[in-house]
Structure 1
Amino acid sequence: MRCNKIFVFILYMKGQSTGHEIGCEMIKLFNHHISLHAILLAATEVALLIVGGFLLMELMPIHVGASLVNDGGEVLVASLPLAVFLVVCSVGLYSRRVIFHNGFQASQWVTVFALMSGVLGIGLFVFWWSFMPEERFPFSFWAATVAMYSGIGLGLRFAFSQVFRDSEIFRKRVVVLGTGPQAQKIFRGSLEDKKANVNVVGFVGLDGQDSGPVRPLLPDLLHNSRYALADYAQENNIDEIVVTLADRRRPEGGLGGGLPVWEMMDCKLRGIQITEFDCFWEREFGKVELSTIRPSWIIFSDGFQVSAVKRVMKRAFDLLFSSLFLLATLPVLLLTALAIKLDSAGPVFYSQKRVGLNGNLFPVLKFRSMRTDAEKNGAQWASKSDSRVTRVGKFIRKTRIDEIPQILNVFRGEMSFVGPRPERPDFMEELEREVPYYSERHRVKPGITGWAQINYPYGATIEDARQKHSYDLYYLKNISIFLDLVILVQTVRVVLFGEGAR
């Protein structure tokens, strides 16, 4: 069985040509790749949370004076947004590596639901105090609700990991064509790991190409007959063949050299997916491989388009979420300003020139996290355990609170809420020289948070900048409001667990 891209939630039986297990289809939803197992898990969780809320209300109805609130329709209406809210808040916990790592997932879920229980308690208390101040607050109902939602969240993931940990369900079986540098990158990426979305069955060597450190090497499938590769794929339940050849030219009808056109065509006609390395890498890792892309790939690929409609929608998104975020964090802003003033001499804020849209410079605003003489010897990269950082600075950097004042830059139109991190002009010349396509990040406004920021730690070297730019190019290629929302909710996870902070 394999997943149909048209009917996302339907697993269908393949024809007689295959008949293998379920592969993990990465669904491209609004230009962003999401694995099917995450979608199914989230859908199951929402359904269980709604049913749980309904049953809880039936078992523990709330008494309001002489009335009894346990109407099924009201419960359904109330449970649905709460269930969706909790699932959205835990969106960063749906990756396969989290689901199949019990200790990691449990510790994160405890933190998430500790936060959610507080939010639920505050919301219920405010509602009760506003509309029913004379009635007794239902502490037992609140505790039961938190316990039920936590139990469902942790229990479902534990059951999911135990059932599917060692199975091929939700994992595509892949054969890599080639053993050169691109194939070696796939091998080093540990895609053969059972926690990955795919299972790399093996690598097929080619004439004239060095056999790099990849394994397992499959038997010779390109010389015995034209149909050997397709026969192997069919007999071994292969879902996809990834082409990693740098030179795609091949003599007409020949069996040596570059891309084996006729063999690949036979595989394609038997229903086996054929994918180029660049597309495979983008889909599985959520980033672009800088060493392999060419201008032609950017020109002809599906993406890298920011229409006028998208710009208007993104601006509305920025203003809405910046306003809400500013209101929600106002107490944090005031406490942080006071802490900085008491901790070290100097101003609360600092302004620094950064590169924005189309390469224009603008002053970015942040909470001061370093000593006032931090750059007396010139601009420097931020390093781990940087001695220039103050005591309060360490905390606000860890929690990303130092970034919050950039909301003012968003209101002024110099930044977006989501986008590439704004870079300092002092480093631009070197970065544009060393990192391919680095200047292309300035096609959109920089952001307070972004795809690179939630997937990679602070950069301290040129290599760090290269890695982060590979994520930024993925964002530029697949930019959408949906991806901005995904980044926004995953930023909560990054802040909660201090991932990648310096």
Structure 2
Amino acid sequence: MLRVLQHYFPVRTFLLVATELCLLGAVMAVGMTQHLWKLLGDPATTHAGARSAADALARQSLSAADGLQKCIIAAIALTLVSLLCLGLNRLYEFQISASRYERASRFVESAGAGVVLCLILAAVSRVASPTGILSFPGLTLTQTIQHLAVTVAVGFGVLYISRFAFHWLVRRADLDVRVLILGSRGPAHALANQIIEHPEAGFVVVGLVPEPESTIGRRRMEPGPDLVTAQEEAASETTHRLVLNQVTLLGRQIENTGAAMRSGNGEPEVAQGEESLLELLEKLSVEMVVVALEDRRMTLPIKDLLEAKLAGIEVREREEIYEQVTGRIAVAAMRPSYLIFNEGFRRHPWAALLKRVTDLILSIIMLVLLWPVMLFTAIAVRMTSPGPVLFTQERVGQDGKPFILMKFRSMRADAEKLSGPVWASEDDPRITSWGKVMRKTRLDELPQLFNVLAGSMSIVGPRPERQHFVDQLAARIPYFQLRHIVKPGVTGWAQINYPYGNTEQDALHKLQYDLFYIKNYSVLFDLSILISTVKTVVLRRGT
């Protein structure tokens, strides 16, 4: 996997984006420059279309070569806009793209959105500035719209056909990294399940090496381990079949069906008791070994792992791969050694200064652009329910310091008069009719931009919680207070990746995302989260 903007980018996705960028860019460039071809070949041509283009170029004091350059730049810009439509419609997620039905329906939607968006941008750009970045010299506005509509539609058709070829080639090339997991208890099955659920990550599990029975119950859990769901660490039917047959590498001999050990004729391949780890890796064509033992004491085969590493096979920890696959830190990784010695969790004063400057710039720009929307929202709140327009509440900020958070009120004014502090639910009866609209579109969050200007919040960061819930969750979830080493945010990695939640289990999952963000923080990561936030709002996902 590639690492881009502080999170992991599957190689297959990178190849798909690069391929479609080249294909669509080529179609756009060819389609939007054809009016200049004859003129480039013969400047004195008498062809009516070419002479019309030559006259238009002359009025702008441009040569045919200059016009070609501007057309190509505009075509590339609109290519990126078109690919953004595919991304917003989740067509770069392999679970979606691999489904023929989903791929077909979403391509139609994306093509329609791409054509309309490109036409609007090109028309607005032409009216605002005939020589702007999205202008096509040599074409009138009507010609631009006609050429562009046909070209974008043809481009999406080419991409749709290329998707079939791409998925076929990916299956044939077998680009997945073959992984052997050392372990057969909860952590190993949790990792295997995540890899199976995220095929776009580019890993495939070829087997789980069983652990000795004697290690069960030795692991000392941190406070709050019962928050880990049984589903997360339970062996699914698929992962249970992956436990290897007759493998004694970790100290005992077991009997199993060993689906990963089957040979081409469908009969099980049985690894002999004295077989070394390296021999097993070679037999299964393993490229990576992942250590996911429940208890490493007296179990971890140090010598065999060193031999495998020196033979060129990657040896990784379960927590690192879990993080790559899911974009969150594993529950088992929430221990001092991982947080202290692992890469990340840096706090540098220059980084803090840059983040603050970025917050100020972005919040001012958003307030200037969105003040009409905020005014309309305030009027709607006032007209649809009695009570104040703004909802203010004390929340916990950076380093545990309290601050007053501002939002547009989406609940009844007396929402907690009888119940006291309680989590809001997705279909909370206390939410007003207009409040439901605001929550769906995130309009209620806009006043938090003033919190950003005041310095109590950031544009991107963990969701701010109330002191009542912080005390409650900190007592149940280990390292929950770590989320307060940065400022809370209007949006964040957890908000765009996890659906609405109102339980301790949800809080645990969100903490995993928050710690991933804190560990991998960068300004570019913040910008990628902001782009994903737009996608989340458009698709109405996350919280």
Q: Which of the five TM-score ranges fits, normalised by the shorter chain?
A: 0.7 to 0.9
| 189-198 or 337-346, larger mean C-alpha shift | 189-198
Does the aligned pair in 2 maintain the 1:221–1:228 contact within 8 Å?
no
Equivalent residue of 2:196, what SS? coil
Q: Which residue of 1 aligns with 2:243?
A: 217
Specify whether residues 397 and 483 from structure 1 end up closer, same or farther in structure 2 by C-alpha distance, changes over 3 A only. same
Q: Tell me how far 1:245 sits from its aligned partner.
A: 1.6
Q: 1:245 aligns with which of 283, 289, 293?
A: 293
Q: 1:203 aligns with which of 190, 204, 208?
A: 208
Question: Quick one: which amino acid aligns to residue 455 of structure 1?
Answer: N
Q: Deviations over 1:56-109 (max 9, x none)?
A: 113356967931578332223223333334445654632332332344455555
Structure 2 residues without counterparts, runs of 5 or longer: 37-48, 58-63, 132-138, 218-233, 252-271
Does the aligned pair in 2 maintain the 1:418–1:449 contact within 8 Å?
yes
Are positions 1:230 and 2:219 aligned together? no
Structure 1 residues without counterparts, runs of 5 or longer: 1-25, 251-257
Equivalent residue of 2:447, what SS? helix
Specify whether residues 330 and 41 from structure 1 end up closer, same or farther in structure 2 by C-alpha distance, changes over 3 A only. farther
Q: Which residue of 2 aligns with 1:66?
A: 55
Specify whether residues 387 and 274 from structure 1 end up closer, same or farther in structure 2 by C-alpha distance, changes over 3 A only. same
Specify whether residues 221 and 412 from structure 1 end up closer, same or farther in structure 2 by C-alpha distance, changes over 3 A only. same
Question: Quick one: which amino acid aligns to residue 359 of structure 1?
Answer: G
Are positions 1:356 and 2:397 aligned together? yes
Q: Which residue of 1 aligns with 2:455?
A: 413
Q: Which has the higher helix share?
A: 2
Specify whether residues 52 and 168 from structure 1 end up closer, same or farther in structure 2 by C-alpha distance, changes over 3 A only. closer
Aligned 1:66-145 pairs, distance under 5 A: 66-67=55-56, 71-87=67-83, 90-91=86-87, 93=90, 94-108=92-106, 110-111=108-109, 114-131=112-129, 136-137=141-142, 138-145=144-151
Q: 2:14 aligns with which of 33, 39, 44?
A: 39
Question: Quick one: which amino acid aligns to residue 235 of structure 1?
Answer: K
Specify whether residues 136 and 488 from structure 1 end up closer, same or farther in structure 2 by C-alpha distance, changes over 3 A only. closer
Q: Tell me how far 1:476 sits from its aligned partner.
A: 0.7
Equivalent residue of 1:303, what SS? coil
Question: Quick one: which amino acid aligns to residue 437 of structure 1?
Answer: Y
Aligned 1:279-358 pairs, distance under 5 A: 279-358=320-399
Q: Distance in 2 between matches of 1:151 and 1:326?
A: 39
Specify whether residues 201 and 167 from structure 1 end up closer, same or farther in structure 2 by C-alpha distance, changes over 3 A only. farther
Question: Quick one: which amino acid aligns to residue 204 of structure 1?
Answer: V
Are positions 1:176 and 2:176 aligned together? no
Does the aligned pair in 2 maintain the 1:176–1:202 contact within 8 Å?
yes
Are positions 1:492 and 2:534 aligned together? yes
Question: Quick one: which amino acid aligns to residue 67 of structure 1?
Answer: A
TM-score (norm 1): 0.85
Q: Deviations over 1:335-365 (max 9, x none)?
A: 3223323322222221121111111111112
Question: Quick one: which amino acid aligns to residue 150 of structure 2?
Answer: A
Q: Distance in 2 between matches of 1:192 and 1:420?
A: 26
Question: Quick one: which amino acid aligns to residue 230 of structure 1?
Answer: L
Q: Distance in 2 between matches of 1:319 and 1:43?
A: 34
Equivalent residue of 2:181, what SS? strand
Are positions 1:50 and 2:25 aligned together? yes
| 311-320 or 32-41, larger mean C-alpha shift | 311-320
Question: Quick one: which amino acid aligns to residue 140 of structure 1?
Answer: Q
Q: Distance in 2 between matches of 1:97 and 1:491?
A: 20
Q: Identical aligned pairs, as a percentage? A: 36
Specify whether residues 124 and 88 from structure 1 end up closer, same or farther in structure 2 by C-alpha distance, changes over 3 A only. closer
Equivalent residue of 1:305, what SS? coil
Q: Deviations over 1:236-268 (max 9, x none)?
A: 221111101243333xxxxxxx10111112211
Question: Quick one: which amino acid aligns to residue 326 of structure 1?
Answer: L
Are positions 1:433 and 2:475 aligned together? yes
Are positions 1:161 and 2:157 aligned together? no
Which of structures 1 and 2 has the bigger CA Rg?
A: 2
Equivalent residue of 1:66, what SS? helix
Specify whether residues 432 and 168 from structure 1 end up closer, same or farther in structure 2 by C-alpha distance, changes over 3 A only. farther
Q: 1:370 aligns with which of 406, 411, 415?
A: 411
Q: Tell me how far 1:398 sits from its aligned partner.
A: 1.3
TM-score (norm 2): 0.79
Does the aligned pair in 2 maintain the 1:354–1:361 contact within 8 Å?
yes
Does the aligned pair in 2 maintain the 1:60–1:141 contact within 8 Å?
no
Equivalent residue of 1:215, what SS? helix
Q: Distance in 2 between matches of 1:380 and 1:116?
A: 43
Q: Which residue of 2 aligns with 1:8?
A: none
Question: Quick one: which amino acid aligns to residue 99 of structure 2?
Answer: H
Q: Deviations over 1:216-241 (max 9, x none)?
A: 22131527577622122123221111
The number of residue pairs the alignment matches comes to 468
Cα RMSD of the aligned pairs, angstroms, is: 2.9
Q: Distance in 2 between matches of 1:403 and 1:305?
A: 29
Equivalent residue of 1:200, what SS? strand
Question: Quick one: which amino acid aligns to residue 348 of structure 1?
Answer: V
Q: Distance in 2 between matches of 1:402 and 1:146?
A: 36
Q: Which residue of 2 aligns with 1:18?
A: none
Q: Tell me how far 1:30 sits from its aligned partner.
A: 4.7
Q: Tell me how far 1:154 sits from its aligned partner.
A: 4.2
Does the aligned pair in 1 maintain the 2:327–2:516 contact within 8 Å?
yes
Does the aligned pair in 1 maintain the 2:292–2:317 contact within 8 Å?
yes
Q: Deviations over 1:32-66 (max 9, x none)?
A: 21111121222222222321221111335696793
Q: Distance in 1 between matches of 2:445 and 2:83?
A: 26
Q: Which residue of 2 aligns with 1:29?
A: 4
Question: Quick one: which amino acid aligns to residue 166 of structure 2?
Answer: F
Specify whether residues 105 and 383 from structure 1 end up closer, same or farther in structure 2 by C-alpha distance, changes over 3 A only. farther
Specify whether residues 193 and 407 from structure 1 end up closer, same or farther in structure 2 by C-alpha distance, changes over 3 A only. closer
Equivalent residue of 1:410, what SS? helix
Question: Quick one: which amino acid aligns to residue 179 of structure 1?
Answer: S
